[in-house]
Amino acid sequence: MNPDVSVIIINYNTYELTCKCIVSVIEKTHDVSYEIIVVDNGSTEKISKTFEELFPDIIFIKSDTNLGFAGGNNLGIQKATGNTILLLNSDTELINDAISIAYKKLKSEPDLGIISGQLLNYDGTVQKQCNRKESICLTLVELLRLHKLMSKEKRGRLLQGTYFDHENSLYTDKVWGTFFMFEKSLLKQFPQQKLHDAYFMYGEDVQWCYYVRYNLNKRVLYYPKAKIYHMGGGSEFNKDKTVIQIQHRYKTLRIHHNRFYLIILGLLKWLLASIEEIKNPRKNITSKIIWVIFVVGKENE
């Protein structure tokens, strides 16, 4: 009998973290059947015992090369037998029966395409992952400080991101790929019947969410009853990472908007970033990257 959920975990030189993640799935998941698929993305680290030795019930897939986040997950999905897929980052640990909670909610709403849970730092603070699709209108609201005229709750639900407290459920446009659940049958409507994998890293989850939300007309739900610890990569500014993220943001938006729209959006985003950089001079390069990619149109630089 096939399991309800196929949990796919990508391991790339994160042996200890991956082991903790697997243990948390086994210990916390009770009210749904599942299988765990670990995809090793060309890891080179030395390990004491293999995953199969430690967890004989998992499905282990070894890739000789690093296929990236999307490529590794697509490889895992090929072996998945569950009717529902959960992409779970290796640097996570479940706090409660998050898989069952999310699965039951997903099944209860036929128009729901993707569901994610509440991601917490280990100190208990919330990671703010919900975001609206970038637009001229929303950027103007923020730039002109019109959100200051709104209640805190209305402001949060309109602009989301850091404005939303992430304590209540919310239908949104994009969530992170950290805890990312969807029906496997949904992929039949994707190009090549698999997750988009043009991006090696960063922005894949945005592309998937936009496709589900705007091409398939399914909803994306942030559901905080499912709770997960997420170590994450930290918030330290990294130029190369920021360049790649903004490049991928632009390329994804280009699918949905024409060049003129993106120039106007870029000008507004550049102005907003410039104002923020005056307040925080340490991050004084984001506006330049936005200008080059969005306004000038050099998306690959």
The pLDDT tens digits of the residues spanning 173-205 come to: 999 999 999 999 999 999 999 999 999 889 999
The pLDDT tens digits of the residues spanning 242-269 come to: 899 999 999 999 999 999 999 999 999 9
The pLDDT tens digits of the residues spanning 155-165 come to: 999 999 999 99
**Is residue 300 over pLDDT 50?**
yes
**Is residue 235 over pLDDT 60?**
no
Taking a C-beta distance cutoff of 8 angstroms, is the pair 244, 201 a contact?
yes
Beta bridge partner(s), residue 245: none
Query: Average pLDDT, whole number, for the chain?
Result: 94
Which residues, including other chains, have CB under 8 Å from residue 182's CB and lie 6 or more apart?
84, 85, 106, 113, 114, 115, 212
Q: What is the pLDDT of residue 236?
A: 42
Q: What is the pLDDT of residue 278?
A: 87
Residue 28: closest CA among 90, 77, 98: 98
Q: What is the pLDDT of residue 86?
A: 98
The pLDDT tens digits of the residues spanning 138-153 come to: 999 999 999 999 999 9
Q: DSSP assignment of 116-145, as one string?
A: EEEEE-TTSPBP---BPPP-HHHHHHHHTT
**Span 223-230, mean pLDDT?**
98
Q: DSSP assignment of 159-224, as one string?
A: HBGGGS-S-S-EEESB--SSEEEEEGGGGGGSGGGS---S-SSSSHHHHHHHIIIIIS--EEEEEE
Give the pLDDT band of residue 206 (cuts 50, 70, 90).
very high
**Span 125-130, mean pLDDT?**
97
**Is residue 240 over pLDDT 50?**
yes
The pLDDT tens digits of the residues spanning 60-102 come to: 999 999 999 999 999 999 999 999 999 999 999 999 999 999 9
Domains in the chain (CATH in brackets) are 5-130+166-230 (3.90.550.10), 239-296 (no CATH)
% of the chain beyond a pLDDT of 70: 96
3-state helix, strand, coil in the chain (%, to 5): 45, 20, 35
Within 10 angstroms of residue 48's Cβ, the number of other Cβ atoms is 9
**Is residue 274 over pLDDT 90?**
yes
